[in-house]
Amino acid sequence: MIRALGERIRRADPRWQDLGLTLLVQLAVTMPFVVPRSAELPPADWGSYGMTTLAVLPLVWRRRAPVAVLVAVLAVGGVYKVTLDGPGQPLPYAGLIAFYTVALLCTARVRAAVGLLSVAAVALSVGWNTGTARELLFTLFVTAAAYALGRLQYTRQAYTSAVEDRAAQLERANRIEAEQAAARERARIAREMHDILSHAVSIMIVQAEAGPVAVRRAPERAEAAFDAIADTGREAMAQLRSMLGVLREDGPAPREPQPGVSGLPTLLDRVRRGGPEISYEETGEVRALSPAVDTTAYRIVQEALTNVVKHAGAGRVAVRLHHTARDLTITVADDGRGARDGRGVESGEGVEGGQGGHGLIGIRERAAAHGGTAESGPGPGGRGFSLRVLLVTSPLEVGT
C-alpha cells in the first residue's frame, strides 16, 4: 500500500508535488511556534510566523526558477535573522530543499556559482549566529548532503529514463517483429492457397473441357475425367480445410501432415488424367528431407505442372528430382509452346507464354527461403520450357 502510494505521488503532476512539499515544509517550520517554550526564549508571535511562512512559500515555484527560489529563501531568512528575534529552526528546511533543487535541475556552471555563493552565505550566517566551528561544519555538511542528494536523484532519473526508453524501443522492436512475422505468415498462406487453388482449378478445367469430347469418343475416359475432377476437388478442400483451420480462434486446428515428395506420384497421376504424359524419376543420394524442404519440393512441382496445364499445350512433361548430400535439384521440362518473352522467373510472369501471374514469383520465394535459386527458359534444343530449382538441404546451409 505504501509502495502504491509512493508510485502515485511520483506520477502526479509536478505542480501538485511541489505544493505538497511546500505544505510539508510549512508543517515542519510551524513546530517551534506551537510546542511549549521556556520563558527565556524569544516569543513566538504572528510576525515571526508570517516571516517564516514567507521563506517557505517560494518552494511552490522551485522547478520553474530554482536559483531565484534559493535566493528568495536565503534573502527572507536573512531578513528574519536581522530584524526579528523569533524562534529559530533546527534545520533551514526551505534553504536545503531549494539547494537540492538547484543540484537536481541546473547546469554545472550554475551549480558551481550557486555553490560558492552558498558557502559564503553559510559563513556569514554562522558568523552572525554563534561563530563556532561546530556550527560551521554542521551547516556545511547538511548543505553538501542536500547537494549530493540532488545529484543522486538526477542520476536516478536519468537511469530510469534510459531504462524506460530502452523498454519502449524493445516494445517497438517486438511489435515490428510481430508485424513482420504476421506479414510473412500471410505471404506463406497466400502462396499455399494460390498453389492449391490454382492447381486444383486448372486440373478441373482441363478435365471438364475434355469430358464432353470423351463422352462422344470414349465414354470410359469420360468417367475417368469426372473422377479426376472429383478427386482433385476433394483433395483441394481437404488441404484448404487444414490450412484455414490454423486461423480459427475457437479451438485447436486439426493437424495433418503437409504433402511431400512421397505424394508426387499421386499428384502426377491426377494430372495425367486427360492431360499430358508425365515421366518421373528421382536420382542421386535419395534420402529423407526435412518437413519444410519436403513440402516446398512438392509445392514447386505442383505449381510447375499447373503452369504447364494452363499455358503450355504440352504433350509430354519430364519431372526429375536429383539429390546430393547438400541440395535437391528439381527439373520440370515440357515440349509445349515455351515462353514468348523469354524472361522466365525474373519477369514474375507465368511459365508458359508470358502469361501474367504469381506462380514463378512464389517458386522463386520458396527457393530463396531454403537458400536456393530458380531458373527458367527454353527446353533442350530450344523447344518447350524448362524450370530448374535448387534447394539447399544440408542442415549447415539451411540454418544460414
pLDDT at 4: 62
Asked, for residue 31, whether it belongs to a domain, the answer is yes
Query: Beta partners for 328?
Result: 323, 391
Residue 329: pLDDT band with limits 50, 70, 90:
very high
Q: Would 301 be classed as within a structural domain?
A: yes
All three cell numbers of 67, joined, read 536559483
- Secondary structure of residue 291 in the 3-state scheme: helix
Sign of the CA dihedral running 258, 312, 387, 321 = positive
Q: Please state the domain count of the chain.
A: 2
Between the ranges 101-105, 308-312, 343-347, where is the mean pLDDT highest?
A: 101-105
Among 217-221, 278-282, 341-345, the range scoring the smallest mean pLDDT is 341-345
- Cβ within 8 Å of residue 21, ≥6 positions away: 59, 97
Is 146 a member of any domain? no
Which of 93, 113, 131 delimits the end of a domain? Answer: 131
Question: Comparing 132-141, 159-168, 188-197, 261-270, which segment has the lowest mean pLDDT?
Answer: 188-197
What is the C-alpha to C-alpha distance for residues 146 and 123, in angstroms, rounded to an integer?
Answer: 17
287 is a domain residue:
yes
Residue 87: pLDDT band (50, 70, 90) is: confident
**Contacts of range 70-74, beta carbons closer than 8 Å, 24 or more positions apart:** 70/95, 70/98, 70/99, 70/101, 70/102, 70/114, 70/118, 73/98, 74/98, 74/118, 74/121
Handedness of CA 340, 343, 344, 345 (dihedral sign): negative
Q: Is residue 219 part of a domain?
A: no
Q: Does the pLDDT at position 285 exceed 80?
A: yes
Instruction: Determine the Cα–Cα distance for residues 240 and 24; give it in Å rounded to an integer.
Output: 70
pLDDT band at 163 (very low <50, low <70, confident <90, very high): very high
Q: Flag whether 173 is in a domain.
A: no
pLDDT (average), residues 192-210: 71
Per DSSP, what are the bridge partners of residue 7?
A: none
Q: How far apart are CA 385 and CA 153, in angstroms?
A: 74
Is the predicted pLDDT of residue 390 greater than 70, yes or no? yes
Residue located via cell numbers 512441382: 301
Indicate left, alpha or beta for 357 from its phi (over 0: left) and psi (-120 to 50: alpha): left
Residue where a domain terminates, one of 131, 160, 178? 131
Whether residue 181 is contained in a domain is answered as no
Please check whether residue 294 lies inside any domain of the structure: yes
Q: Which amino acid is at 54?
A: L
pLDDT-above-90 percentage for the chain = 17
Spatial separation of the C-alpha atoms in residues 400 and 389, rounded to whole Å:
19
Boundary-marking domain end, from 99, 114, 131: 131
Percentage of residues in the chain having pLDDT higher than 70: 79
Domain of 335, CATH number, reads: 3.30.565.10
- Identify the domain containing residue 398 by its residue range: 262-268+276-400
Query: What is the predicted pLDDT for the residue at 360?
Result: 79
Residue 206's nearest CA partner among 133, 138, 273 is: 273
The predicted structure's pLDDT at residue 322: 94
Find the helix or strand (DSSP H, E) in which 385 lies.
strand 385-392
Q: What is the mean pLDDT of the chain?
A: 79
Q: CA–CA separation, 275 vs 358, rounded Å?
A: 22
- Over range 166-175, report the average pLDDT: 90
Give the whole-angstrom CA distance, residue 153 versus residue 155: 5
The residue whose grid cell reads 488441404 is 239
What are the C-alpha distances in Å from 274 to residues 218, 278, 303, 310, 333? 12, 11, 18, 13, 19
SS (H, E, C) 176-243: HHHHHHHHHHHHHHHHHHHHHHHHHHHHHHHHHHHHHHHHHHCHHHHHHHHHHHHHHHHHHHHHHHHH
pLDDT at 143 over 50: yes
